[in-house]
Structure 1
Amino acid sequence: MARPATIQGPGVFLAQFIGDAPPFDSLAGLAGWAAGLGFRGVMVPTHDARILDVEAVARDAARADEVRAALADRGLVLTELAAHRFGWLLAHHPAYAVAAERMAPREVGDRVAWAGARLRLVARACRALGVSRCAVFSGALLWPYVHPWPLRDPGLIAEGFAELARRWRPIVEAFDAAGVDLCVEPHPGCDVHDGVTFERFRAALGNHPRVKLLYDPSHMVIQGMDHLGFIDAYAALIAAFHVKDAEFRRSARSGAFGGFQDWIDRPGRYRSPGDGAIDFRAVFSRLSQHGYGGWATLEWECCLKRAEDGAREGAAFIARHIIAVTRHEFDAALQGRGLAPGEIARALGLQP
């Protein structure tokens, strides 16, 4: 069993805070804003060149140095890169063609090939920046078949995971060559959306050691899963952690699928940390107990609270929940030097 570890943080995922006005329109601006709120690390998205020009960083060591310096000057650590959009584009069902058009430049013809090329650039950018983890989505070839009606053939599902593996295998190899773990985030709307689908995805890739997990308990709450038991089941594979709250309000009119309603009206909805149903004391305790020493990163996606307020409160929330793991057992003084065989027998009442 892994030794307990102290989680690092607070970190923040910058994707949800990007905007068109300063300080939210540049990495330097976002870094200054995040540092001012008390964050110590940032997860940086790779889909917006204003924030991170992946191609430039991958090809020019000087640009990578500039990125690191911009963060270090503000007391921040680059915790992970995130390439969720590229992962989704790598393997999306044709039903999502219109949505996919919004995630790639208009001039792109083959979006799957383009996404694969971008992911390989991200791997090189990670190596240039000294980052050892990258967050991704698996893609969504099979999601239209998630509920078994019309009846689905098991062969369709098997072939779907086989195709996922064919598309991801060269990407995994590129990240392996760069010394970077791919942290797959189980997410509704993606083929990897729970533990079972992650296991199947990873098995299709030969259980490659670079294929890890990004743990986000909010996605488990809205699916009715045991988000604490998930930690026990997959602790050895959890390499990244999003701090995002959620709640599921049982309803007579709507259920887990949400009835096509806006987020605020769905029974399952995302909230800012502390405003939902997740017991984060237990989450942080369980992760620390199992030896997770990575970053606790705020992901703000709340249907009620302002982003700025969620970020400010989130930094303090994470800092308050981090457990500085003890180096000594509380009864260490009573353990002494150990008992000799004769003393053991006496302690058990077997000898006078």
Structure 2
Amino acid sequence: MARDVTLCTGQWADLPVEELCKKAADFGYDGLELACWGDHFEVDKALSDDTYCARKRELLEKHGLKLHAISAHLVGQAVLDVVDERHKSILPEYVWGDGDPAGINERAIEEMKNTARAAQKLGVDVVNGFTGSSIWHLVYDFPPIPRSMIDAGFDLLAERWNPILDVFQECGVKFALEVHPGEIAFDIYSAERALAALDGREEFGFNFDPSHLIWQGIDPAEFIRFFPERIYHVHMKDSAVTLNGRTGILSSHLSFGDERRGWDFRSVGRGGVRFEEIIRALNHINYTGPLSVEWEDTGMEREAGAREACQFVKNVDFSPSNIAFDAAFDN
């Protein structure tokens, strides 16, 4: 069971998608996970131009690349967030509009509904993304936080995301939240609560990414075991914790790549994630979807890194055994 190894295009959106297709095929990837920004996949064009999705498929097929999922992280972030000037750089102009936060929230909701419709036209059944969070700023419990404020954050998740997920259900598409700091779900127990807030509806699951869990002290494989029916997509990404007595796990408001940070992203195999345990856990839950490399390593040249990452993932993946190792003794 060799899973397809795909490349998430979000970190390559500075390149035209046709150029990236050529590179990804040369690097050895089996497919792409198209981001809904740059010219990689444009939701508005997918819905307004009846030839758009077919042309995207033809481009991928020309380079021998498959497509299992698209990514809508940036617009999804604006659904629950308290919007400010940070969001302007990540949103399409037609979602940002006049910059009024309440209007942006509403337009982001509509764009996520349209993303489900666009995914259906494109012929993919998973949209990866973020939800945003109205309560992330409350992650540290001081000044003391009334539980009602946390409850309100999860109530808002249900209020804003259930109508979106209704459209996902109509389109036969699943939404896979990348559990991540800054989102309504950032670890195992907040993810469990998010599922409960949405009444466990099947349209909502997870894009598993170990790099966001390991630096929090969470065993990424345990996340897979905790949510065996909800792993709808997998990112292969690594991170390294480098606490030396001066560095801190909250990273001191330092940018990625700064050596004074207490943790940072790494190319797969160059950080602290035990990817063999990830594969064993995925085998245990019978996950047969793609392994999508989300390449982020500010200390490494990205083309060399992406090529190496592709081969690393292919090397680390393996099929589960179909017999017990000691079955021969039964005879």
TM-score surpassing 0.5?
Answer: yes
Q: In the aligned structure 2, how far is the partner of 1:281 from the partner of 1:158?
A: 37
Q: Deviations over 1:74-107 (max 9, x none)?
A: 111112110111111111125xx01122223253
| Aligned residue identity for 1:38 | G
Residue in structure 2 matched with residue 163 of structure 1 by the alignment: 156
Aligned counterpart for 1:286 among listed residues 281, 285, 306: 281
Residue 57 of structure 2 is aligned to residue 64 of structure 1: no
Aligned counterpart for 2:72 among listed residues 66, 83, 86: 83
Q: Which residues of 2 match residues 195-210 of structure 1 at below 5 A?
A: 195-210=188-203
Residue in structure 2 matched with residue 321 of structure 1 by the alignment: 316
Q: In the aligned structure 1, how far is the partner of 2:188 from the partner of 2:117?
A: 29
Q: Deviations over 1:217-237 (max 9, x none)?
A: 111111111212222111221
Q: Deviations over 1:14-58 (max 9, x none)?
A: 110122xxxx22x2221111011100011111133x222212223
Larger deviation, residues 250-259 vs 309-318? 250-259
Aligned counterpart for 1:100 among listed residues 74, 87, 96: 87
| Aligned residue identity for 1:88 | Q
Residue 111 of structure 2 is aligned to residue 118 of structure 1: yes
Match of 1:229, SS state, is helix
Larger deviation, residues 132-141 vs 254-263? 254-263
Residue 175 of structure 2 is aligned to residue 182 of structure 1: yes
Residue in structure 1 matched with residue 36 of structure 2 by the alignment: 46
Aligned counterpart for 1:136 among listed residues 121, 129, 135: 129
Q: Which residues of 2 match residues 218-229 of structure 1 at below 5 A?
A: 218-229=211-222
Residue in structure 2 matched with residue 191 of structure 1 by the alignment: 184
Q: In the aligned structure 2, how far is the partner of 1:138 from the partner of 1:52?
A: 19
With over 3 angstroms needed to count, the CA separation of the structure-2 counterparts of 1:7 and 1:266, relative to structure 1, is farther
* Structure whose CA Rg is larger: 1
Residue 234 of structure 2 is aligned to residue 244 of structure 1: no
The alpha carbon displacement at 1:168 in A equals 0.5
How many residue pairs are counted as aligned between the two chains?
323
Match of 1:239, SS state, is strand
Residue in structure 2 matched with residue 346 of structure 1 by the alignment: none
Q: In the aligned structure 2, how far is the partner of 1:213 from the partner of 1:52?
A: 21
Instruction: Report if aligned partners of 1:9, 1:318 keep a CA contact under 8 Å in 2.
Output: no
Match of 1:8, SS state, is coil
Match of 1:140, SS state, is coil
Q: In the aligned structure 1, how far is the partner of 2:151 from the partner of 2:201?
A: 18
The alpha carbon displacement at 1:314 in A equals 0.8
Q: In the aligned structure 2, how far is the partner of 1:7 from the partner of 1:170?
A: 37
Q: Which residues of 2 match residues 254-293 of structure 1 at below 5 A?
A: 254-264=247-257, 265-293=260-288
Unaligned 5+ segments in structure 2 are none
Instruction: Report if aligned partners of 2:97, 2:104 keep a CA contact under 8 Å in 1.
Output: no
Residue in structure 1 matched with residue 4 of structure 2 by the alignment: 9
Q: Percent identity?
A: 27
Residue 6 of structure 2 is aligned to residue 33 of structure 1: no
| Aligned residue identity for 2:309 | G
TM, length-normalised to structure 1: 0.87
Aligned counterpart for 1:305 among listed residues 287, 300, 304: 300
Q: Deviations over 1:305-332 (max 9, x none)?
A: 1111111101101111121344455555
Match of 2:183, SS state, is coil
The alpha carbon displacement at 1:251 in A equals 2.8
Q: In the aligned structure 1, how far is the partner of 2:18 from the partner of 2:212?
A: 31
Q: In the aligned structure 1, how far is the partner of 2:2 from the partner of 2:210?
A: 16
Q: In the aligned structure 1, how far is the partner of 2:131 from the partner of 2:188?
A: 13
Residue in structure 2 matched with residue 350 of structure 1 by the alignment: none
Instruction: Report if aligned partners of 1:58, 1:125 keep a CA contact under 8 Å in 2.
Output: yes
User: Does 1 or 2 have the higher relative contact order (CA < 8 Å, sep 6+)?
Assistant: 1
| Aligned residue identity for 2:272 | A
Residue in structure 2 matched with residue 3 of structure 1 by the alignment: none
Instruction: Report if aligned partners of 1:7, 1:294 keep a CA contact under 8 Å in 2.
Output: no
The alpha carbon displacement at 1:134 in A equals 0.7
TM, length-normalised to structure 2: 0.93
Residue in structure 2 matched with residue 343 of structure 1 by the alignment: none
Residue 62 of structure 2 is aligned to residue 73 of structure 1: yes
Unaligned 5+ segments in structure 1 are 1-5, 337-352
Q: In the aligned structure 2, how far is the partner of 1:269 from the partner of 1:53?
A: 30
Match of 1:236, SS state, is coil
Instruction: Report if aligned partners of 1:7, 1:296 keep a CA contact under 8 Å in 2.
Output: no
